[in-house]
A = this chain, B = another copy of it.
Amino acid sequence: MVRPTSRPTRHLGTDDVVDWIRRVGLGRCIAQVAERIEFDFLRWPDFDKSARVACHSSDGVIELMPIADAERFAFKYVNGHPVNTRAGLPTVMAFGVLADVATGVPRLISELTLVTAIRTAAMSAVAARALARPGSRTMALIGNGAQSEFQALAMRDTLDIRALRLFDVDPAATAKLAANLAGQGLAITVCRSTAEALRGADIVTTVTADKQRATIVTPQMLEPGMHLNAVGGDCPGKTELHPQVLQRSRVFVEYEPQTRIEGDLQQMPADFPVTELWRVLAGSATGRRSADEVTVFDSVGFALEDFSALTVLHEAAQRLGLGREIDLVATPTDPKNLFGLLHREPAAHMIATQALTSATA
């Protein structure tokens, strides 16, 4: 019998994830995650799926997103607090865990804020590749915040998008996006409204953050053959598309039970027809049927995408030696003698700590 290591869990912080992205290249990271998402979506029935658990408050939401196959259990902790930016904090912060189903041992705990942006962009690219009109070259990008660069680069690399039409209610966000994308091979047009940005666009990506029912895209703005990549309508009471936009489109979703609650789909009757994307990828459902059809990917972010991203990240961490061991769960020498942990010799640093502080507590 092989004794387990005393600290079986690897920890990746922000610097480690940044290290991964720099060494592999952002485009290649997105492509690897997209490839893994497709692989995992094609074995959809293998997963134990559930809608995420959400804790809503007046200013935001905290969610846990668990999923498992026969070998690995994964979950992500993620918040969404649009008010945070006023306090210098990100709207979205995330971390995730990958564990062995057979033993429950957590193998990886990682910062996932950057990875969430990567996997969301990768998911959008997988959906757009399956649903957008061939030859799409221009994308409108509405909402130019934290996730917008990732969406732009994923679409450039996956679909050969060459032109972006940008709009955000905050011109500083657009200026930041344009600056970050300078020299990346994308022709950029800054627009003064959503309607202007959508004119002539093949793909429309909405990635706005306000936690409210908003109508970013109205039916009047639609053009034949558009593909809408609706990312920002992703929790109850938070939408981006006018209901008639959905009525005039064919709507594709990740995991139907979750999207009915959280997506733009929440505005529609319970029997409004949608197609789960994995069926299109697997060839068991039809995607786009004509060049004139409007398609919508009502993306809310599903746990399986984080499972895929964590799997890619874990493999990269092992290959590149990223991160470090972390003492996340106790592994006593004698597993039936948890109490015995209290009587082990303390580690040297603890003796030092104890010497420096009084025993009164």
Contacts and interface: CB of A to CB of B under 8 A. Distances in A.
Contacts of A23: 354, 357, 359, 361
Contacts of A188: none
Contacts of A101: 55, 57, 62
A62 B73 contact: yes
A346 interface: yes
A257 interface: no
A93 B4 CA distance: 14
B77 A103 contact: no
Contacts of A99: 62, 77, 79
Nearest to A181: B339
Interface stretch (A131-139, A212-220, A243-251, A316-324): A316-324
Nearest to A79: B104
A205 to B, nearest CB: 15
Contacts of A346: 15, 18-19, 22
Contacts of A150: 338-339
Interface in A64-98: 64, 66, 68, 70, 73, 75, 77, 79-81, 84-85, 87-91, 93-95, 97
Give chain A's interface secondary structure class: mixed
Interface residues of A, number: 98
A113 B330 contact: yes
Nearest to A68: B55
A66 to B, nearest CB: 5
Given A18-B346, A23-B359, A64-B64, A103 B84 contact: yes
Interface centre among A77, A94, A105 (most CB of B within 10 A): A77
Contact of A327 (B57, B111, B344): B111
A94 B327 CA distance: 11
Contact of A15 (B60, B68, B327): B327
4 A-B pairs with the lowest CB-CB distances in the bound complex, closest first: A79-B104, A13-B327, A93-B329, A146-B338
20 contacts: A1-B87, A1-B88, A4-B88, A14-B330, A15-B349, A19-B350, A22-B346, A23-B357, A48-B55, A55-B73, A57-B68, A60-B104, A64-B66, A81-B102, A84-B104, A90-B330, A90-B338, A145-B336, A150-B339, A176-B334
